[in-house]
Amino acid sequence: MQRTDMMNNSRSHELFERAQLTIPGGVNSPVRAFKSVGGTPLFMTHAKGAYMYDADGNRYIDYINSWGPMIMGHAWDAVVSAIQERAAFSTSFGAPTELEIEMAELITSMAPNIDMVRMVSSGTEACMSALRLARGYTGRNKFIKFEGCYHGHADAFLVKAGSGLATFNIQTVPGVTAGASMDTLTAPYNDLLAVKQLTHDNKGEIAAIIIEPVAGNMGCIVPQPGFLEGLRALCDEEGILLIFDEVMTGFRLAAGGAQERLGINADLVTYGKVIGGGMPVGAFGGRQDIMERIAPLGNVYQAGTLSGNPIAMIAGYTMLKTLRNNPGIYEALDNTTKAIHIGMEDALKASGRPFVINRFGSMISVHFSEKPVNNFADAAAADNATFNKFFHLMLNKGIYLPPSAFETWFVSHAISAADVEATLLAARESLAVL
């Protein structure tokens, strides 16, 4: 692996200058701009397994993995071959295919408490549609989300959202009207009493509670014991639908996602990223009586020309079938992530800096904090300026971390023991000069 004090990134600099002439900010998703950590974003040319390669030929061990879906690593041969074969039949029909049925059958066979599923084209669309369905099913308008949880960029979700908004310190979003956000109620993550107070103050008006069961948009935030169980009980008592946003956790934490791993059933679940094997895709699913309210069976309208796109479906089908048939993949992912956790903990202790490491399955994040990080306020109060310096030191040693303290790291099955050791060596060296 190329490791120097300062990599040559001249080509990326040139491309960024050129991109800013025709693309707002030079990027097509804000976090890619490196605004949080500073510096110039790197432009990638290709990736394979655990590694990404930039326009200057530098190689990086990747801990973003396209923000989660590359569970088997980049350009995994089985998915690439499946896409190539299917593309010869056409990239889109705008008509039903048998493959859509097979994909739906696979998802419902793997994920608990899901009887029916509707394919869409992104995680944002999945969450937006699930909320509309919850409102249509319950006849209520308000919903509860959690500070720092990101459910895509639909208007109603951009209230105290994490991820990119936290990175850019955007508290209010121009273009989102008061009318669009007035029914959005927010509570701190892991604060069950706050949720109970909201339901008390808005009795009979709340359609849904939507949550990342393991949050990944303020770093990795793990649900405290009893928190999700309390939400489930509260929803049952109040006739509220519980929506799990599993765009990140779905099929990553277990074959049945966070529902299986945590042993808690949601009423509706949203998916993205992973179920397309890296292709643009999303889905939402749940109980039959709820899902039958979606058109054409019901009067809650949702549509999409590219929904069930055959290229995304074959990529996702290939990925999910592999994960279902090889449960040892999850044990290996957990063990690799645990090794990173232990090694990073040792390095941070030796540095003398205060820190918190949060980990759940193959999701992990490092916070330079003196106190536990259990919600967005905790993550925001950490020494994120130090994280930014750490990010660049690691980047210059060939370790590609998420360019924001408010994002979780994702571990792939392609990361080897040698890659872990290289990562930990880079961490020790970086912390020594931080």
Check pLDDT > 90 for residue 36. no
Positions marked active-site = 150, 245, 273
**Where do the DSSP E strands lie in 255-391?**
268-272, 282-286, 356-360, 363-367
Question: In whole angstroms, what is the distance from residue 45 CA to residue 28 CA?
Answer: 16
Domain boundaries, the chain: 10-63+327-433, 77-325
Q: pLDDT (tens digit, 9 = 90+) per residue, 334-392?
A: 999 999 999 999 999 999 999 999 999 999 999 999 999 999 999 999 999 999 999 99
Q: Which residue has the tokens 């306020």?
A: 377
| pLDDT bracket for residue 173 (50, 70, 90) | low
Question: In whole angstroms, what is the distance from residue 303 CA to residue 119 CA?
Answer: 9
Helix (H, G, I), strand (E, B) or coil at 146: strand
Name the superfamily (CATH) of residues 10-63+327-433.
Aspartate Aminotransferase, domain 1 (3.90.1150.10)
| pLDDT bracket for residue 176 (50, 70, 90) | confident
Could you say which DSSP state residue 273 is in?
Answer: G
Report, at the CATH architecture level, how domain 77-325 is classified: 3-Layer(aba) Sandwich (3.40)
- Supply the pLDDT for residue 1: 38
Q: What letter represents residue 359's amino acid? A: R
Helix (H, G, I), strand (E, B) or coil at 221: strand
Domains 10-63+327-433 and 77-325 share a fold: no
Check pLDDT > 70 for residue 317. yes
- Supply the pLDDT for residue 344: 98
This prediction has a pTM of: 0.93
Check pLDDT > 90 for residue 314. yes
Q: pLDDT (tens digit, 9 = 90+) per residue, 14-29?
A: 999 999 999 999 999 8
- Supply the pLDDT for residue 291: 98
Question: In whole angstroms, what is the distance from residue 234 CA to residue 130 CA?
Answer: 19
